[in-house]
Structure 1
Amino acid sequence: FPLDISQGELIEKLKCFINSFTRFFVVLQLTVNQSDTAYKIFGTINNRGRDLTDSDIIKNELFMSVPNEKRDQVKEQWDSIIETVESEDLTEYLRFQYASSIGPVKLVNLYDAITGHLQKNDPINYLEDLAVESEWFARINLIGGDFWSGNIKEKLNVIKNNLDISHSIPLLLTGAVLYNQDLKSFERLVNATVVFCFRYFTIGKNSVSNLEREIGFMSRSLRN
């Protein structure tokens, strides 16, 4: 309120404010017994007018999983990943990286899968892996400066813009992590991925969910 407002005007404005607040706002108190339930409820609430993404909720889980003195490190690495993949919403990257390193996961199960992983493994190590592999995720999605040349770049561009087989990214991410010092092997993997996905859809007439599952299993097998 203005500093020079009279006491009478102030009282009237406060009455209007209280009346509006009690008529048009609802305050709910929700009590839950498990933290994962709280985060799922939290995921349905707007944050400054925007729906929270799965990656927002997973970020909060990461913060909750580490001691206070390490939370600055979590924030710094998380912000670095956002800058690398050039997206505030890291949900797609988190899902593809999980499928690449751990196994296939549906979007609806991503939160439970990652929180379960964090309960059994060091959250800082997981975040460090995310940070390192985000650079390869960006490169296979042709984000940022040119890294690949020749046939590799051409095939990655086809995968991204023509064939619409983004579900193959977990396998490509595994290949980039394993073969980044052996570009001939990586190129063979890219070529094989394109052929496999094309035949899987056109000849096998399989579904996207089946392709995701097969890609996830192949990715994890290569890493092992």
Structure 2
Amino acid sequence: MKKIKTLSVGLSVLFLLSCENKQDANKPEKPKVETEKTSTDNSEKSHENHLQKQIVSLIDGIQKGKPDEVKAYFDFPIKNDNFWYVALESEKWEKHLGKGFGEKEFQTYFNRIFNDDFRKTLAKIDVDKVLKQGRDEAEYTNKSPSEGSKNTLEIVYVDDKITMTFNSTVYYEDMADEYSQVFVFTTKDGVLKFKDFQIAG
């Protein structure tokens, strides 16, 4: 009788354990929505921070005249004749039409591509405002008695694109000369890259 009683108790315990396991198996899994959402938010934030660092690096490199930093955002050779136009004298640049503007030329003529007036105007741009509000504009006046200038620079950041529009009026003793430059960079896939360069005037 004792053996039968012990066996009966053992079977009862096994039955209870079996029921508990079935109940656990039937319990619905906790939704992973919050975890996945948090992971996505963190990924997007990391992507945005990385992109903003690139934009800050580009603007800082141009402003401080550091071609080694800025060239990272260009693919060489650059297929754009306007670089030759601003880099060389008028009688020389036409000989280079259709030729790629290489990394060596970019470093050599960096200060002509982004001249002193451009960089000093850029220094007045509020980079945080560009990143948070998508736009900022600055003015700089060079009051040099021999060759003064009045300059404006607008930077717009919208739809994965950064557009820098620079307008300058250079004053000589008896005349004035106006010109404009537009630099366009794209930010697709989290990588900042040069897209286009246009000039007028």
TM-score range (shorter-chain normalised) is under 0.3
* Structure ranking higher in strand proportion: 2
Normalising by structure 2, report the TM-score: 0.25
Structure possessing the higher relative contact order (Cα contacts under 8 Å, 6 or more residues apart): 1
* Structure ranking higher in helix proportion: 1
